[in-house]
Amino acid sequence: VNGCTDDDQIEVELNINPEASFTVGDDVADISCDGYTATLVNTSVNANAYQWYFADGSTSTDEEPQHQFVFDGSNQVILVAYNNMCTDTAVQNIAHTSLDVILSNTPKVFSPNGDGNNDCFELATDFDACSNVTIFNRWGNKVFESSPSQPCWNGKKDNNGEELPTGTYYI
């Protein structure tokens, strides 16, 4: 108006949209009949806050939470990644962990020689109440079957019979 001009500068900050994503870590722990605990590895980008929702109704705001998953049932996990005003959501149904992973800490050998070290074979987990371990010799003959009172195999036939020879046995 009337030949007058004015100018100004304004700084505009753009907010990059976050991308929510995650995987399940290999650090399976606290394995029992109730399930197992695993760490969720957050692979989200452009986010600065997180909200996790689990099928059992619990939540977490940790960047990489640990959570107990059940063997049977729903293991759905929802991650909402935030970046100021923007959000993104990732949803996964966590597959049941295989027995190979769960039993990976089970010893492959033992030495039932009465020295107090590694004298008994048992699963390296707390499965006594919900599992049955049967040991067979290389000819397929059953040499031991676990029970709540005998979860551990001592290398003898039925844990109280003859001492069995050194060899390969199958679980």
| Distance, CA of 124 to CA of 133 (rounded, Å) | 12
pLDDT for the residue 99? 64
pLDDT value for 117: 86
| pLDDT the model gives residue 80 | 98
Q: Which residues contact 2 (CB under 8 A, 6 or more apart)?
A: none
| pLDDT at residue 122 in the model | 84
Summarize pLDDT for 98-136 with one digit per residue, the tens.
666 667 777 788 888 888 888 888 876 677 777 888 999
pLDDT the model gives residue 125: 67
Give the CA diameter of the chain: 113
pLDDT of residue 85 exceeding 90: no
- β-partners of residue 36 are 69
Radius of gyration of the chain (CA): 27
Task: Look at residue 96 and tell me whether its pLDDT is greater than 90.
Answer: no
Residue with tokens 């980008």: 45
Most confident of 4-8, 19-23, 91-95, 162-166: 19-23
pLDDT digits (tens, 9 = 90+) for 5-64: 889 999 987 778 999 999 998 877 777 778 888 899 999 999 999 999 999 999 999 999
SS3 state at 32: strand
- Three-state secondary structure call for residue 35: strand
